[in-house]
């Protein structure tokens, strides 16, 4: 590796030890013989700002280094790079983005394109009034390694251009992990919203993503006390903050608007409490054709009209295996925008899902939930009696859905008071 002695002020030691500011320097490779070092030196550009120093190699070494920034000082405008890419992240980003604007800070939104279908992406920016992305990376789909690798490359290039004070990531998608790795390698502060969640199911790609992201993060923004304890068990205590759940912030802001503005119940011809709502998208429920067919048949056996918005992955898997079986009660519909989904959730008799976000929204709206997974990271929903875990067991799914009733006690307030985003904005812009 090339050797470089850099002062904190952004200067380079000269031959006699004198510090002098430079913009272009020549750096010798450590493995070169002394008599050839001048002929084969690697070129580098030093880009300086008030708070950072970037070194980019122009040789075949292809290395980039960003020195960690000095502590953010009170009263200074802070630049945040928010990296999103999937449906749940757009929802989580809205309240935080609003608070950052209110604090007067700069925000760059980077959209990886992990979800690129209009109903899985654009509609959320339209309905929620989220600022349009400053950078759309158009990564698209692919295997986990391929998609994540292309994201890391594209995000790193974007961060080198933008030079933010802090990178903000959400949840547990491939976008989350890719942005975490890029920020960590560049030495940029990393803040993780929904830190500390654990399902303890290492067959889930999301579990890998959240664990690795937490261990890269400087600021760990936990939605629940359980999440704080999970981090403690892994030896992570520095930079951990209990802030509450940003999805609860969003539900409080948009729940009433959904009831007033959405016409989805009328357009589908269903009445409040006269239907069940189902979502399925997890790989272990969709990638095995037998499991997916079993789930769909179980939903059809519940007896209610079951509204089933199809995630693109789920539709693709069904089509690849000859389509869905003949159904009497299940209605397959297109993915929904945020307001229509909230409206259907609020008025459902029961919700069946493998989505973590939908589990929480059911809890917020006091609707019984049947989770099509053997475990959940949102253990509070199960402990309070508002959620039951059934995995892909057909008999258990049917029994739980048919018997679903509201517990006598209201859901406990374990996800905060609706001010998580305000706390996050304050912590992120004070991080140092």
Summarised one tens digit per residue, pLDDT across range 166-197 is 999 999 999 999 999 999 999 999 999 999 99
Whether 190 maps to a domain, the answer reads yes
Same domain, 214 and 284: no
Across 129-133, 141-145, 190-194, 207-211, least confident range: 129-133
CA distance 397 to 411: 22
Can you give the pTM of this predicted structure? 0.82
Summarised one tens digit per residue, pLDDT across range 343-389 is 999 999 999 999 999 999 999 999 999 999 999 999 999 999 999 99
Q: Which helix (H) or strand (E) holds 170?
A: strand 166-170
Work out the pLDDT band at 70, boundaries 50, 70, 90. Answer: low
CA distance 81 to 116: 20
Summarised one tens digit per residue, pLDDT across range 109-130 is 999 997 655 455 577 777 887 7
Calculate mean pLDDT across residues 81-93: 92
Ramachandran class of 95: left when φ > 0, alpha when ψ lies in -120 to 50, beta otherwise: alpha
Whether 253 maps to a domain, the answer reads no
Judge whether 281 counts as a catalytic residue. yes
Which CATH number do you get for residue 302?
3.40.50.2000
Summarised one tens digit per residue, pLDDT across range 21-34 is 333 333 333 333 44
CA distance 108 to 111: 10
Contact at 8 Å (CB) between 345 and 365? yes
Across 40-54, 65-79, 86-100, 307-321, least confident range: 40-54
Same domain, 302 and 226: no
Number of domains in the chain: 3
Two tokens, residue 395: 């008999």
Residue partners of 285: CB distance under 8 A and separation at least 6: 291, 292, 295, 354, 372, 373, 392
Same domain, 163 and 21: no
Same domain, 147 and 206: yes
Same domain, 15 and 122: no
Structural domain of 277:
262-403
> Closest by alpha carbon to 88, among 37, 30, 128?
128
Whether 129 maps to a domain, the answer reads yes
Whether 255 maps to a domain, the answer reads no
CB atoms within 10 A of CB 288: 15
Whether 216 maps to a domain, the answer reads yes
Summarised one tens digit per residue, pLDDT across range 267-293 is 999 999 999 999 999 988 998 999 999
Whether 25 maps to a domain, the answer reads yes
Same domain, 205 and 317: no
Same domain, 86 and 213: yes
Quick one: CA dihedral 48, 49, 51, 56, positive or negative?
negative
Contact at 8 Å (CB) between 373 and 355? no
Same domain, 123 and 201: yes
DSSP 130-175: PPPPSEE-------HHHHHHHHHHHHHHHHHHH--SEEEEETTSHH
CB atoms within 10 A of CB 375: 15
Whether 411 maps to a domain, the answer reads no
Two tokens, residue 343: 């409206």
CA distance 155 to 373: 32
Q: Diameter of the chain by CA atoms?
A: 84
Same domain, 188 and 129: yes
Contact at 8 Å (CB) between 139 and 150? yes
How far does CA 156 lie from the centroid of its chain? 17
Residue with token string 């940003």: 246
**Which among 115, 281, 311, 347 is annotated as catalytic?**
281
CA distance 284 to 133: 31
Same domain, 121 and 179: yes
Phi, psi of 155 (to 5 degrees): -65, -40
CA distance 126 to 338: 10
CA distance 228 to 245: 13
Same domain, 293 and 347: yes
Whether 5 maps to a domain, the answer reads no
Contact at 8 Å (CB) between 176 and 152? no
Summarised one tens digit per residue, pLDDT across range 36-61 is 333 333 333 333 333 344 443 333 33
Same domain, 224 and 270: no
């Amino acid at each position: 590796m090339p050797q470089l002695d850099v002062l904190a002020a952004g200067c380079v030691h000269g031959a006699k030890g004198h510090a002098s500011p430079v913009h272009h320097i020549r750096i010798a490779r450590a493995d070169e013989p002394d008599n050839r070092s001048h002929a084969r030196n690697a070129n580098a550009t030093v880009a300086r700002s008030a708070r950072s120093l970037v070194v980019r190699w122009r040789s075949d070494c292809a290395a980039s280094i960003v020195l960690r920034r000095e502590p953010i000082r009170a009263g200074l405008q802070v630049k945040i790079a928010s990296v999103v890419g999937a449906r749940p992240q757009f929802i989580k980003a809205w309240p935080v983005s609003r608070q950052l604007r209110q604090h007067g800070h700069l925000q760059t939104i980077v959209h990886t394109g992990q979800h690129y279908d209009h109903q899985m992406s654009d509609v959320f920016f339209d309905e929620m009034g989220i600022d349009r992305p400053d950078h759309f990376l158009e990564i698209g789909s692919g295997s986990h390694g391929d998609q994540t690798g292309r994201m890391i490359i594209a995000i790193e290039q974007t961060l080198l251009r933008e030079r933010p004070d802090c990178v903000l990531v959400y949840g547990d998608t491939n976008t989350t992990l890719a942005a975490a790795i890029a920020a960590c390698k560049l030495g940029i502060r990393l803040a993780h919203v929904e830190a500390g969640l654990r399902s303890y199911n290492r067959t889930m790609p999301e579990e890998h993503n959240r664990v690795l992201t937490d261990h890269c993060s400087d600021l760990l923004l936990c939605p629940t006390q359980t999440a704080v304890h999970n981090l403690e068990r892994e030896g992570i205590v520095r930079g951990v903050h209990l802030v509450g759940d940003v999805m609860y912030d969003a539900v409080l802001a948009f729940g009433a608007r959904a009831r007033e503005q959405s016409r989805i119940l009328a357009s589908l011809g269903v009445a409040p409490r006269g239907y069940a709502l189902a979502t399925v998208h997890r790989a272990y429920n969709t990638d095995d054709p037998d499991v997916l067919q079993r789930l769909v048949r179980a939903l059809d056996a519940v007896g209610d009209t079951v509204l089933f918005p199809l995630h693109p992955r789920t539709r693709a898997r069904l089509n690849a295996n000859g389509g869905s079986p003949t159904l009497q009660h299940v209605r397959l519909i297109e993915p929904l925008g945020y307001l229509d989904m909230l409206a259907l959730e609020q008025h459902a008799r029961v919700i069946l899902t493998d989505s973590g976000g939908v589990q929480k929204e059911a809890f917020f709206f006091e609707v019984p939930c049947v989770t099509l997974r053997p475990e959940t990271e949102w253990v509070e929903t199960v402990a309070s009696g508002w959620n039951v875990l059934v995995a892909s067991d057909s008999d258990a799914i049917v029994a739980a859905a048919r018997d679903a009733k509201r517990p006598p006690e209201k859901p406990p307030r374990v996800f905060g008071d609706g001010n998580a985003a305000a706390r996050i904005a304050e912590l992120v812009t004070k991080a140092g």
